[in-house]
Amino acid sequence: MDRAWTEQYLLPLFNWDNPTEAKAVWEGFLRSPPYQPLLTALKAPFLESAEHYTDLSGRYKQRFAAFLTYAALEPTEGYTMDEFRSAMGALPQDGIEASAQALFQALEGSADRREDYWKNRVQPFWQQVWPKSRDLATPRLAERLTLMSIAARGEFPAALAAVKDWLLPIERPDYIVHLLHESGLCSRYPADALRLLNAVIADQQWATSELGQCLDEIGQVAPQLVQDARYMRIQEYSRRRGSQ
């Protein structure tokens, strides 16, 4: 409402020259949805905030990672993909995990535009911004990337191909199995669904009944996969753990 006053008196407070003051101002800023003209005006300190991630407290760390992710997903005036990639590269492990959660939520929120959103927003982000070091892979991150690939719906095969090297066994895969079953992807893309299940299921303590239903759908649509070693392993696991 008063751009000149804001630029003179308020925006300088976001600079990290005074970390205590900047921390307080950024945490207040992170309470609200991103406002693009302000992000453009705050470009330098916003990108620098990635290097001060650990200075933020509690939930504001994850909020910043989500802000950064959303800004990179949408056209943001004055920013380049290289700048977003450098900022993402400065985030620690929990910041990367928060970014993956934001990707999942962004796809979920795009509703019937999921496929277009994957192709036009998330896939370019993954290719140009997402860190490339597999050292960041953890079960928690694998879970969030799995959720993201399921949320892509019609682009599930492409999303799974993008994240496959990051997938690891998940401690409690029941929610993943539930979403996969509900999505109908086991019938639409049986080979890819089996590939996902094989990646996230090892020998966890118990198996949900929906895992058996997923396998049944895969077998009905693609009978040749019933003889696949991965299918037989998961089927045996489902029978053994499901009966406990």
What residue segments make up the domains of the chain, in order of their start?
A: 1-134
- The Cα 217–Cα 116 span in angstroms is 27
Question: Looking at the predicted structure, is the pLDDT value of residue 36 above 90?
Answer: no
pLDDT of res. 199: 97
Report the mean per-residue pLDDT for the chain: 94
CA atoms 108, 109, 112, 117: torsion sign = negative
CB 200 within 8 A of CB 168: yes
pLDDT of res. 113: 95
CB 128 within 8 A of CB 85: yes
Banded pLDDT at 35 (limits 50, 70, 90)? confident
**pTM of the complete model:** 0.92
Question: Looking at the predicted structure, is the pLDDT value of residue 243 above 60?
Answer: no
Question: Looking at the predicted structure, is the pLDDT value of residue 34 above 90?
Answer: no
pLDDT of res. 242: 64
Banded pLDDT at 244 (limits 50, 70, 90)? very low
CB atoms within 10 A of CB 80: 10
